[in-house]
């Protein structure tokens, strides 16, 4: 408004000058025209700003408010026709030139002092908003600004621009709060990762220690097993090696390397099966070759009566042992006595093949040393591919007699015990 009044004064001055001096000097006239054009440019820019904020730069109530309501003392200063605190005058002048007066001339027209008080409170919030940094803003401070702006909005004051600024501050503050919360979560996550890594290091250390302990125990177990095996071999499973004329509960006496079990000759006329020296617990593939007699041939053997006569003339009451298929079985004599072949009563001398040609002690010893505790089934299973014929089975049995013996437990499980060191 002051600019428009200035333009009006200048225009009136130009008009009066033309009336008084219709013919002016060219130089003076050109200078006067330049001043008018400069003032006109200021007027145009001010008009463009007033499209959005019509009251920008205008006097309060066009400067026509009653003088008795004007509040002016040593604390206040007049800015565009409105009284503001001197400490707020500089900031208020910038707001007035850009957005217009904050107070409205349509409300509280008779309470000018109340308008000055409300504007003073709003200017306090504006000063805080203008001075504070983002990290200094808090929810309580935003709530305080919100309350003061709502009061001004109810009074229809010119603070739409302040509302927009506050909403922007709210958005930035919410984003900043979210950022801070995210940073806190990141710190917590880093702490959890660090703790997990420490636990992983401790777990790896514990795992390595457990592996070392396991290896040490395995190293101790091997000689202890060997010592136990030597004791069992020496004492036959007893604490003392004395047999006292009794058998050692299923433990086979050790057989020397080149020694073969000696069996008594078999009387073909007797059904009594002589003792062969090999317990019945040994698998059939490790026993001496046996001959089965069919029921048809059994009748031919009864030429001497229903029972065999022993040396003292008495009949033997013992019953012959039968195989699983119900046929009687007799052991082949290793001493060279004739033995009926399968399905025939004619004696036939059979010879055991050279065991060392088919199996060696070293390869069987290697298996027994590698697995000190092994059952007969497991040991035979390791050589099953080479035990196809009777000749191979006899050879394997001969080598076994020279280096180990069989121990049968109470549950019937048979274990191979190494006797050769």
> How does pLDDT run across 246-287, given as a tens digit for each residue?
544 444 444 444 444 444 444 444 444 444 444 444 444 444
Q: Are 176 and 169 in contact (CB under 8 A)?
A: no
Comparing 5-19, 132-146, 355-369, the range with the smallest average pLDDT is: 5-19
- What mean pLDDT comes out for the span 346-362? 58
Alpha carbon distance 81, 53 (integer Å)? 18
The torsion angle over the Cα atoms of residues 155, 160, 164 and 165, rounded to 10 degrees, is -80
Say if domain 251-257+352-421 classifies as CATH 1.20.120: no
- Residues 203 and 55: their CA atoms lie apart, in Å, by 75
Rounded CA separation 119/42 (Å): 29
70 vs 388 pLDDT, higher one: 388
Q: For residue 313, how many other CB atoms are within 10 A of its CB?
A: 6
Q: Is the pTM of this model over 0.75?
A: no
| Residue 315, strand partner residues | 309
**Is 18's pLDDT higher than 70?**
no
Q: Ranked by mean pLDDT, which of 18-32, 48-62, 196-210 comes out on top? A: 196-210
pLDDT band at 204 (very low <50, low <70, confident <90, very high): very high
Q: How many angstroms separate the CA atoms of 191 and 199, rounded?
A: 12
Helix boundaries (H) for 100-236: 112-131, 139-154, 160-235
Q: What is the pLDDT of residues 156-195, one digit of tens each?
A: 888 889 999 999 999 998 998 889 899 999 999 999 999 9
* Rounded-to-integer distance, Cα 169 and Cα 165, Å: 6
Q: Return the axis-axis angle of helices 86-99 and 112-131, rounded to nearest 10°.
A: 90
Distance, CA of 363 to CA of 58 (rounded, Å): 117
The whole-angstrom separation of Cα 17 and Cα 21 is 6
Percent of the chain clearing pLDDT 90 (strictly above): 16
User: Smallest Cα–Cα separation from 347: which of 407, 269, 246?
Assistant: 269
Domain limits, the chain:
2-50, 251-257+352-421, 261-351
Pick the closest to residue 122 from 79, 78, 157, 80 (CA basis): 157
Query: What per-residue string of b and e applies to 90-105 under the rule 16 or more CB within 10 Å gives b?
Result: eebeebbbebbbbbbb
**Rounded to whole angstroms, how far apart are CA atoms 183 and 133?**
20
The residue with tokens 């800015």 is 79
Asked if 330 contacts 289 with a C-beta cutoff of 8 angstroms, the reply is no
Average pLDDT, the chain: 69
Per-residue pLDDT, 285:
46
The token duo for 311 is 């040396």
Residue 335, both tokens: 């001493």
Asked if the model's pLDDT at residue 375 lies above 60, the reply is yes
């Amino acid at each position: 408004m002051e600019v428009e009044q200035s333009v009006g004064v200048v225009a009136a001055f130009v008009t009066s000058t033309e009336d008084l001096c219709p013919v002016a000097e060219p130089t003076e006239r050109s200078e006067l025209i330049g001043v008018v054009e400069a003032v006109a440019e200021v007027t145009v820019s001010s008009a463009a700003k007033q499209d959005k904020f019509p009251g920008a730069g205008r006097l309060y109530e066009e400067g026509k408010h009653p003088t008795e309501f004007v509040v002016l003392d040593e604390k206040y200063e007049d800015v565009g026709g409105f009284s503001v605190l001197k400490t707020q005058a500089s900031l208020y002048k910038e707001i007035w030139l850009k957005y217009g007066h904050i107070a409205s001339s349509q409300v509280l027209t008779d309470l000018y002092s109340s308008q000055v008080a409300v504007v003073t409170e709003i200017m306090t919030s504006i000063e805080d908003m203008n001075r504070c940094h983002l990290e200094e803003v808090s929810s309580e401070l935003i709530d305080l600004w919100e309350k003061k702006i709502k009061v001004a909005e109810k009074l229809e004051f010119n603070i739409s621009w302040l509302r927009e600024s506050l909403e922007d501050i709210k958005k930035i503050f919410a984003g900043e709060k979210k950022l801070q919360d995210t940073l806190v979560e990141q710190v917590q996550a880093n702490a959890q990762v660090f703790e997990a890594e420490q636990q992983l290091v401790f777990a790896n250390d514990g795992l390595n220690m457990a592996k070392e302990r396991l290896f040490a125990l395995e190293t101790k177990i091997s000689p202890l097993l060997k010592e136990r095996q030597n004791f069992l071999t020496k004492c036959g499973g007893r604490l003392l090696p004395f047999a006292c004329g009794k058998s050692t509960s299923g433990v086979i006496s050790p057989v020397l390397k080149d020694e073969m079990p000696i069996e008594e000759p078999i009387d073909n006329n007797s059904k009594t099966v002589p003792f062969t020296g090999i317990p019945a617990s040994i698998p059939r593939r490790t026993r001496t070759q046996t001959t089965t007699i069919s029921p048809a041939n059994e009748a031919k053997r009864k030429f001497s009566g229903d029972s065999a006569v022993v040396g003292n003339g008495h009949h033997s009451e013992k019953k012959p042992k039968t195989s699983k298929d119900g046929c009687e079985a007799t052991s082949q004599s290793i001493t060279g006595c004739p033995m009926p072949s399968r399905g025939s009563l004619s004696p036939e001398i059979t010879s055991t093949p050279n065991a060392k040609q088919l199996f060696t002690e070293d390869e069987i010893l290697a298996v027994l040393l590698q697995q000190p505790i092994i059952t007969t089934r497991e040991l035979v299973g390791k050589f099953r591919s080479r035990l196809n014929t009777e000749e191979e089975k006899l050879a394997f049995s001969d080598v076994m007699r020279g280096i180990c013996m069989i121990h049968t437990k109470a549950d019937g499980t048979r274990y191979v015990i190494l006797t050769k060191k």
